[in-house]
Amino acid sequence: MEPFAEPILVTRPYFPPLEQYKKELERIWQNQYLTNNGPLLREFQTNLSQYLNIPAGNLDLFCNGTLALEVGLYASELPGYEVITTPFTFVATAHAIKRIGAIPVFADVDPENLCLDPAACEKLITPRTKAIVPVHVYGHPCDVKGFEALAKKYDLKIIYDAAHAFGVKLGGKSIASYGDISMFSFHPTKLFHSCEGGLLTFADAGLQAKLEQLRNFAILSETQCVDVGTNAKMNELQAAMGNLCLKAADRLIAYRRSIHETYENAFADCKNVRMVKVTSSRSASKDLALVRNDAYCPVLFKDLEMREKVYTELKKYNVYSRRYFYPLLTDFTPYIDGNATPVARDAAARVLTLPTYDNLSLKDVEKIAAIVKEIAGE
Ligand code: T4K
């Protein structure tokens, strides 16, 4: 098979029509407001509230997902406590926990959809555990009922890292409605973005004022500072991009569905490669109706050797897949940990995320799948 003429990246950001963005820039120039709760940010907040069907008092915008999570964890009063999370995620999840002075404890994942496993978490709960941070990895829904049960039984906070899960619905409502807090990343590698950006949604509307304070240095006035805040504000250029991308979100999600389906069909009869399942048959939430977002296209190979071969050889065809998420966080210096997480370790060794984005044609997806099968064998 011939290599692609242009590089095929694991993802490429959606760019709204330039003319539309120029119009938004003109508004910013007229407003003479660039950041600090400007009018476009407030508009973006209203638009997201409508899109997600979450009251405007239950969400807040940030300059990126990492700081959003950090501020959400800090506001939940977790410093000094143990927080259980997954080692099979992007490193930002653990960084946010550690940077606020909490102690990340790593539990294993569900073998089917690779989300944190509530049963594995339960075994690690101690009197110092105050929260669990499950990740809806790849946009796959966690076992929200399982975590709800743990929260009740042990009086824990559940704070979802929903960085990948924009647009996902579960049980007829946004996935943002589950747990105490959810964090969404609006980084350009996500299917919905605002250049950089992050969103927190939260069950307790009383949290909003605290989050707004914390993301603005925790200053109340020119003469009052009440906590150790930070600067995590989203600016007007980000909000302008977010507003335009939101108009395209449903179409982008629908197109990713067709890309995912194209890979699914191509690998349906393969022994050496298979798609990771979106929902787990072991999940107590498996019967909740799911609207998926197909944010990523992760596949599992027979073993590490084969995954490495495919990852390397794809580059000869001008295809740049990524090993999201390899290595495990517990292999990184700050997080080396004594807990064994064999399911996560096995997945990290065998997983590869294949290209998916708006401008990738289905014909090209078929060709990528054919190349993968040629390298891995069927
Ligand atoms: N929690 C989870 C579970 C996350 O996955 C993330 C972020 C976070 C928390 C934190 O959220 P943020 O603070 O980021 O909002 C990327 C992203 O930087 C990161 O946002 C993301 N997860 C992670 C999974 O992936 P890299 O280092 O792999 O990105 P990079 O620069 O290699 O880009 C990937 C591909 O996209 C490349 O082939 C180039 C292409 N690309 C990228 C950008 C930014 C473009 O074509 N244009 C672009 O503008 O981390």
Could you tell me if the CB of 295 is within 6 A of ligand 1? no
Tens digit of pLDDT for each residue in 265-313? 999 999 999 999 999 999 999 999 999 999 999 999 999 999 999 999 9
For ligand 1, say whether the CB of 99 is within 6 Å of any of its atoms: no
330 in contact with ligand 1, CB cutoff 6 A: no
Mean pLDDT, residues 316-334 taken together: 97
Q: Are 276 and 294 in contact (CB under 8 A)?
A: no
Q: Tell me: the pLDDT tens digits for 73-94?
A: 999 999 999 999 999 999 999 9
Whether residue 92 has its Cβ less than 6 Å from ligand 1: yes
**Residue 316 confidence (pLDDT) above 90:** yes
Question: 320: Cβ below 6 Å to ligand 1?
Answer: yes
167 pocket-lining for ligand 1 (C-beta < 6 Å): no
Ligand 1 pocket, residue 324 CB under 6 Å? yes
Q: What is the pLDDT of residue 240?
A: 98
Strand ranges inside the chain, DSSP E: 8-9, 59-62, 82-85, 103-106, 129-133, 157-161, 169-170, 173-174, 181-185, 198-202, 219-221, 224-225, 273-275, 290-291, 297-301, 319-320, 351-354
- Is the pLDDT reported for residue 378 higher than 80? no
pLDDT of res. 3:
97
Q: Whose CA is nearest to atom 50 of ligand 1?
A: 189
Confidence of residue 259 (pLDDT cuts 50, 70, 90): very high
**CA 2/CA 318 separation, integer angstroms:** 10
| Alpha carbons 322 and 197: distance in angstroms, whole number | 22
d(CA 301, CA 323): 12
The best mutation among 67, 187, 234, 315 to test binding of ligand 1, ranked by most ligand atoms within 8 Å of the C-beta, falls on: 187
Q: Whose CA is nearest to atom 11 of ligand 1?
A: 65
Q: Is the CB of 169 under 6 A from ligand 1?
A: no
Model's pTM, two decimal places? 0.98
Distance CA 83, CA 103 (A): 6
Q: Which DSSP symbol is given to 231?
A: B
pLDDT at residue 339 tops 90: no
User: pLDDT tens digits, residue range 200-218?
Assistant: 999 999 999 999 999 999 9
- The distance of Cα 267 from the centroid of its chain, to the nearest Å, equals 25
Question: How far is it, in rounded angstroms, from Cα 245 to Cα 192?
Answer: 6
**Burial category of 276 from C-beta neighbours within 10 Å (exposed 0-12, middle 13-18, buried 19 and up):** buried
Token pair belonging to 269? 């009869």
For residue 338, name the pLDDT band (cuts at 50, 70, 90): confident
Average pLDDT estimate for 315-327? 98
Pocket test of ligand 1: the residue of 6, 90, 293 to mutate, having most ligand atoms within 8 Å of its CB, is 90
- Distance, in Å, from the CA atom of 152 to the CA atom of 305, rounded to the nearest integer, reads 43
Percent residues over pLDDT 90 in the chain: 98
Mean pLDDT of all residues belonging to the chain:
97
Decide: 11 in ligand 1 pocket, CB within 6 A. Answer: yes
Task: Evaluate: CB of 182 within 6 angstroms of ligand 1.
Answer: no
pLDDT per position as a tens digit, 5-35:
999 999 999 999 999 999 999 999 999 999 9
pLDDT bracket for residue 317 (50, 70, 90): very high
Percent of the chain with pLDDT over 70: 100
* Residue of 89, 109, 189 to mutate, ligand 1, most atoms within 8 A of C-beta: 189
Report the C-alpha gap between 342 and 29 in whole angstroms.
54
CA torsion 323→325→327→331, rounded to 10°? Answer: 170
Q: How confident is the model at residue 337 (pLDDT cuts 50, 70, 90)?
A: confident
68: three-class secondary structure by DSSP: helix
DSSP per-residue codes, 137-204: GGGPPP-HHHHHHHHHHHT-EEEEE-TT-TT-EETTEEGGGSSSEEEEE--TTSSS-SSS-EEEEES-
Whether 150 and 121 have beta carbons less than 8 Å apart is answered as yes
